[in-house]
A and B are shown apart, each in its own frame.
Chain A
């Protein structure tokens, strides 16, 4: 199956700074790349996604960039706020229409 890795596994930033989380995958034919946010005790929720025909997508303070050649995509959060503190998961979809969730990155934004 798909081999999905996220880095870093934990990240602490000062409020207002930027945070970047990287996700690498193994299936070169993967075509859909979402990021999910899971707050403590709650369900994962999609925050942004990108498809294989574009390289970057932005939604206010959140952006995702895709490098299909290198098989990785990254989540960028600018001007971080305490409410951004959560666990973030990437979940690339491979050619078998399967989603493999990464191991998660725990982000802490320090006020």
Chain B
């Protein structure tokens, strides 16, 4: 298995632009998680899905952030409009179920100028 796949790996954009991050979980995994990592705030859970349904989005910072999981093999995290404070590494992770090991993707390094 290729593991969790994320794209793009790096993204540089200007403030106000829309940013879309993509994730393909490991086949057969039922749970998918989106995290944001910064030096100041550490690793923060933004949202997680179970069987394609959003279970907890309390970590989503504000209305500029949205996440979807239209099917079991694909999820997106969208930021619109982006701001410099959104600069971070965004990780997607998947697990066989909610009470199992999480497997992280390589991350997307986002820089908003």
> Are A and B a genuine interacting pair, yes or no?
yes
Give chain A's interface residues, CB within 8 Å of chain B: 1, 31-32, 34, 42-46, 49, 89, 91, 93, 96-104
B56 within 8 A of A: yes
CB contact list, B72-103 vs A, under 8 A: 91, 98-99, 101-103
Considering the chains assembled together, what is the distance between the CA atoms of A89 and B102 in angstroms? 13
Nearest CB on A from B37, distance (A): 9
Nearest CB on B from A86, distance (A): 14
Nearest CB on B from A55, distance (A): 19
Residue of A nearest to B42 (CB): A103
Nearest CB on A from B97, distance (A): 9
Considering the chains assembled together, what is the distance between the CA atoms of A34 and B103 in angstroms? 12
B53 within 8 A of A: no
Considering the chains assembled together, what is the distance between the CA atoms of A43 and B107 in angstroms? 7
Contact A89 B43 (CB under 8 A): yes
Residues of the A chain whose Cβ atoms lie less than 8 Å from the Cβ of B25: none
Considering the chains assembled together, what is the distance between the CA atoms of A96 and B107 in angstroms? 25
Task: Known A32-B99, A43-B91, A93-B99; judge A101-B43 contact (CB<8 A).
Answer: yes
Task: Known A31-B99, A32-B99, A43-B91; judge A100-B104 contact (CB<8 A).
Answer: no
Residues of the B chain whose Cβ atoms lie less than 8 Å from the Cβ of A98: 45, 48, 56
Residues of the B chain whose Cβ atoms lie less than 8 Å from the Cβ of A96: 56
